[in-house]
């Protein structure tokens, strides 16, 4: 299992590095992560929650984002209505909700985030700058408008399908409007 855990860690780290580069993420941005540890180990989402697997994915992602001062927002499973676990300093004025995720009610990934963060809080929603959907967790509800899909060099973490997205500001105006190429 150790080899598989190392592989999962490395795939998560690689995906996060690519996401940061392709989405032009910088300090202060928020990245939403939805992760089914069941899917990562080749099982159906919600059936075989694994803290060890979630920790490997989390550590690969968190170490990369932390080194760039980018915040990780961990999406809980549908049993907690896909609530978010994040560091309080990332959302100092947000309305927090009272819940502590568990492996079977929130998911192993969100549970790992809650127990790793210095000052975790739960939110009902967030508007993240980019995200990774690991295993079909449906992160779209927590991305800013307008979401843009990104193709990474890897398409799986473990056995879980991997989708990535960034966001961009909405275009407004008409044929006379000009746009900042750096925001595309």
d(CA 80, CA 62): 22
pLDDT digits (tens, 9 = 90+) for 95-110: 999 999 999 899 999 9
Residue burial 4-16, b: 16+ Cβ < 10 Å; e: rest = ebeebbebbbbbb
pLDDT digits (tens, 9 = 90+) for 57-71: 999 999 999 999 999
Q: Residue 6: which residues within 8 A CB-CB, separation 6 or more?
A: 56
Closest to 124 measured CA to CA, from 159, 85, 88, 91: 85
Cβ(129)–Cβ(29) below 8 Å: yes
Q: In order of start, what are the domains of the chain with their CATH numbers?
A: 2-169 (3.40.50.10360)
Whole-model pTM?
Answer: 0.93
């Amino acid at each position: 299992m150790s080899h598989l855990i190392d592989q999962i860690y490395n795939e998560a780290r690689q995906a996060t590095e690519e996401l940061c580069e392709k989405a032009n993420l910088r300090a202060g941005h928020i990245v939403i992560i939805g992760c089914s540890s069941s899917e990562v180990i080749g099982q159906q989402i919600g059936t075989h929650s694994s803290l060890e697997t979630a920790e490997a994915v989390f550590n690969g992602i968190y170490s990369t984002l932390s080194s760039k001062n980018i915040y990780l927002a961990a999406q809980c499973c549908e049993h907690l209505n896909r609530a978010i676990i994040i560091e309080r300093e990332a959302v100092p004025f947000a309305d927090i909700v009272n819940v502590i995720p568990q492996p079977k009610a929130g998911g192993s990934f969100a549970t790992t985030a809650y127990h790793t963060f210095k000052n975790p809080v739960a939110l009902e929603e967030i508007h993240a700058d980019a995200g990774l959907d690991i295993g079909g967790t449906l992160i779209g509800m927590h991305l800013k408008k307008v979401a843009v899909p990104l193709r990474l060099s890897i398409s799986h973490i473990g056995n879980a399908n991997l989708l990535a997205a960034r966001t961009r500001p909405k275009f407004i105006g008409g044929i006379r409007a000009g746009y900042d190429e750096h925001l595309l």
